[in-house]
Structure formats: structure tokens, C-alpha cells
């Protein structure tokens, strides 16, 4: 590929199959598209997991942290009655126990303790670092270190299927939650052990699995045909309110200055609430924060995009 490829900015909603790592998928995308700089992914999936893996291009890489922080939805397959070294099906079985006495009611009662804000110990087979060393590398060397529990959010945890020893769950979580640890801890609570036997990430922020594409979908396309699958930079931000700004406001914001809020808008904007801002010709300008005491908009994250966005609002926000 030539190195003088025109830069692009936006997202691909890729579907990672089981087997390759998230970085493997990212390398494939870079190789096929020819875009090797300022390309990243929005949240690692374990090799045996599958599902949504957003790929960020160009200026969209500035929103990678937002994608990592965004809510995730999973379809979890849990095998009850056994515990493994890795908390999933890749590890060695270390304990087994009968599950014949388990009922739907018992499982549902146990799940209640795992909803909301919970304390979770990360698995040894994870990419977290302890004293500069990846936990999974220590684990592969037979070294186990103490891990401190962390507070994570489990927004939803529902039973989809139950036929002991098989359990299928729908889970929605915030940042940093490990589904393998969730399966393991549930098994401990039930007294029979459990491990994660399958995992599909069905949503990452605004990106959903039913809309995702595979490498096979884009490999056979012409040079730039793959770009028709791209989402605009502002797509993951559509849960924010949008406003339109004038040229003078845009100039001031790009200079790092604040701009005034018209009195007509002050009634519904909360302190430090963030909005999507667009130019009068529909370009996505960036994200603004509102300083309520000063009645001023502050630049939070600005972009330099040439094309209008399909999500630009039809309202006039600030002068």
C-alpha cells in the first residue's frame, strides 16, 4: 500500500470472531484499508470471545476512551458444576461438584447479589499489570499474586436460558467488569463452581452486533469501498443533546475561549452538561461543557472535520 493514502475519520463496527485477539483484528483492518496510523479499537475482547469491536480511524481515536468507558452488553454462557484455572473453558478444571439440586429459583436468588455496584476481583488470566507485569504472563509462569477487589457496575443481569448445568445470561456492565470473574463468583455463591463457556459482546456503547460487519464483508471490496461501512465521528455521542453554533462562536471555542448561552436555552442545561456542537453548515465541531454559574459554554473536545454530519440538529444554539 502507498503511504500517501488520504486520512479518514470515523468508526467501523467490526464483529470479532472467536479465536483471534482484538489486536489481530485491528492489524487485519489496518492491512486491508491501508490506514496504519491513528487507528485503534474501543475495548479488548478475550480471544475466545466474539462480538462487537469498534475500530476508530483518524480523529475518532480521540473518542477511544469514551468507548472503553461506555456500557457493554453480553450474552454469557455459563457452565455450572466446575471451576477452571482461567475462569473460562480454556483453563484446566480444578474442582467439580454436582448441580442436580440447583433450581431456577436458587440461581435467580444468587444473581441478586451481583446486580448494581459490586466488588470484583480481576482474574489472574487478564491483561492487568501488577508491578509492571501482566497478570496473564505471571499466571502462565505458575505465579499467582494477590489482586485487590474493584468496584464495578452490573446494570442488568437476567437469565435467558437454564437447563442445569447450562446457564445463559444477559449482562449489561460498565467499565472494567470481567464476565469470567462474574461467572466464577456466581459459581462460588451457588456452592458448585462455574466458568464462562461462551461470550458474545452484543453491544459496545452505540454499536450493536446486529449492525456489525466482518473482515469477510470488506476484504473483497474495491480500494475505498469499505468506507461505506463507516460511522461518523459523532455517532457514539448521539445520547448527548445537539446544538448549532455560529461562526464567531466556533472561532472563539477553537481559540480556547468560552461563549455565552442564549437565555432561551438556560432553562434546560445542567451544570457541566455536555452537548454535541455543529457548525451552521452541519460539520461536527465537537463536545462543549456548560458552566452554569457563568452561563458560558466551554470547549471540551474539538474536531476539525470537512464534511457535514448526518446527525447535525436543525436548531440554533449559540450565536
Q: Give pLDDT, residue 2.
A: 42
Q: What is the DSSP string of 200-235?
A: EEEEETTEEGGG-B-HHHHHTS-TTGGGGGPBPTTG
Residues of the chain with CATH 3.30.2350.10: 10-70+206-229, 72-204
Catalytic residues: 46
Q: Give pLDDT, residue 29.
A: 94
Residues of the chain with CATH 2.30.130.10: 240-302
The domain made up of 240-302 has a fold known as 2.30.130
Q: Give pLDDT, residue 19.
A: 94
Q: Give pLDDT, residue 134.
A: 79
**106 CB-near residues (< 8 Å, 6+ apart):** 190
Alpha-carbon gap, residue 56 to 48, rounded angstroms: 22
Domain 72-204: CATH architecture, name and number where available: 2-Layer Sandwich (3.30)
**172 CB-near residues (< 8 Å, 6+ apart):** 71, 72, 73, 74, 154, 155, 156, 157
Q: Which triple of cell numbers denotes residue 212?
A: 456489525
- The residue to which cell 442564549 is assigned: 262
Residues of the chain below pLDDT 70: 1-6, 262-268, 271, 315-319
Closest CA to 91 of 104, 82, 78, 99: 82
Q: Give pLDDT, residue 6.
A: 62
Angle, in degrees to the nearest 10, between helices 179-190 and 104-111: 120
- CA 35, 38, 42, 46 torsion-angle sign: positive
Does the domain at 10-70+206-229 match CATH 3.30.2350.10? Answer given as yes
* pTM given for the model: 0.89
Amino acid at each position: 500500500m502507498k503511504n500517501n493514502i488520504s486520512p479518514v475519520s470515523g468508526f467501523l463496527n467490526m464483529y470479532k470472531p472467536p479465536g483471534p485477539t482484538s489486536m489481530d483484528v485491528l492489524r487485519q483492518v489496518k492491512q486491508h484499508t491501508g490506514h496504519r496510523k491513528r487507528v485503534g479499537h474501543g475495548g479488548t475482547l478475550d480471544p475466545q470471545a466474539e462480538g462487537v469491536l469498534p475500530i476508530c480511524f483518524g480523529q475518532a481515536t480521540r473518542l477511544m476512551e469514551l468507548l472503553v468507558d461506555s456500557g457493554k452488553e453480553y450474552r454469557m454462557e455459563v457452565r455450572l458444576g466446575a471451576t477452571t484455572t482461567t475462569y473460562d473453558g480454556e483453563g484446566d478444571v480444578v474442582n467439580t461438584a454436582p448441580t442436580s439440586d440447583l433450581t431456577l429459583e436458587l440461581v435467580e436468588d444468587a444473581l441478586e447479589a451481583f446486580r448494581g455496584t459490586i466488588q470484583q476481583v480481576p482474574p489472574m488470566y487478564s491483561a492487568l499489570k501488577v508491578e509492571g507485569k501482566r497478570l496473564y504472563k505471571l499466571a502462565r509462569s505458575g505465579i499467582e499474586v494477590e489482586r485487590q477487589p474493584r468496584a464495578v457496575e452490573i446494570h442488568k443481569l437476567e437469565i435467558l436460558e437454564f437447563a442445569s448445568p447450562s446457564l445463559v445470561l444477559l449482562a449489561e456492565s460498565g467499565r472494567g467488569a470481567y464476565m469470567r470473574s462474574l461467572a466464577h463468583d456466581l459459581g462460588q455463591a451457588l456452592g458448585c463452581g462455574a466458568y464462562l463457556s461462551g461470550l458474545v459482546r452484543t453491544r459496545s456503547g452505540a454499536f450493536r452486533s446486529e449492525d456489525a460487519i466482518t473482515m469477510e464483508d470488506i476484504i473483497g471490496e474495491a480500494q475505498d469501498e469499505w468506507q461505506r461501512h463507516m460511522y461518523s465521528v459523532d455517532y457514539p455521542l448521539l445520547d448527548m443533546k445537539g446544538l448549532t453554533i455560529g461562526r464567531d462562536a466556533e472561532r472563539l471555542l477553537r481559540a480556547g475561549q468560552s461563549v455565552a448561552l442564549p437565555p432561551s436555552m438556560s432553562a434546560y442545561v445542567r451544570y457541566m452538561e455536555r452537548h454535541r456542537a455543529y457548525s451552521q453548515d452541519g460539520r461536527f465541531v465537537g463536545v462543549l461543557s456548560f458552566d452554569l454559574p457563568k452561563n458560558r459554554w466551554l470547549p471540551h473536545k474539538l474536531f476539525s472535520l470537512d464534511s457535514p454530519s448526518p446527525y447535525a440538529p436543525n436548531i440554533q444554539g449559540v450565536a
